Amino acid sequence: MDYKIIAAIGLGAIAGAALLIWIIVQVQARIENPTVKETLTQLLYLLDEQCDNMEIPAKRAQAIVAIQQLLGWRRLFLPTIVVGFVLDLIVRIIRKTGVPDLHQEDKNENCN
């Protein structure tokens, strides 16, 4: 496979995922139905938890190894620095789309 096609598919997937996350954040902020709002909040909580895990060096390294093993199975090798950069980019995009830091809210509630 041509690397330009692989890069285009990868960037398209990241852009599509960022758009989906942004839509979920917007719907969660504006919806009135408590059942749907709770479900979307739980989904965003899981997403926030995964982002927090990528900020921990050991868990980030485990994710990089898992991605490399998955790509190695398809006989596609990407250096650790490239996989790490993509993971950091995804976490940054998720943070910029407005996913609330739900763990921070939990910490504030426990302090009061």
Residue 111 has pLDDT above 70, yes or no: no
Rounded average pLDDT over 76-105: 75
State the distance between the two ends of the chain, measured CA to CA, in whole angstroms: 56
Give buried/exposed letters for 40-69 (b at 16+ CB in 10 A, else e).
beeebbebbeebeebeeeeebeebbeebbe
- Confidence bin at 64 (pLDDT 50/70/90): confident
Tell me what pLDDT residue 97 has: 74
- CA 79 to mean position of chain CA atoms: 20
Rounded average pLDDT over 36-65: 84
Tell me what pLDDT residue 4 has: 76
Average per-residue pLDDT for the chain: 78
Distance separating alpha carbons of residues 45 and 58, to the nearest angstrom = 21
Burial class (CB in 10 A: 0-12, 13-18, 19+), 94: buried
Look-up: residue for tokens 């927090």? Answer: 52
Q: What digits encode the pLDDT tens for the residues 1-28?
A: 567 777 777 778 878 888 888 888 888 8
Rounded average pLDDT over 73-91: 77
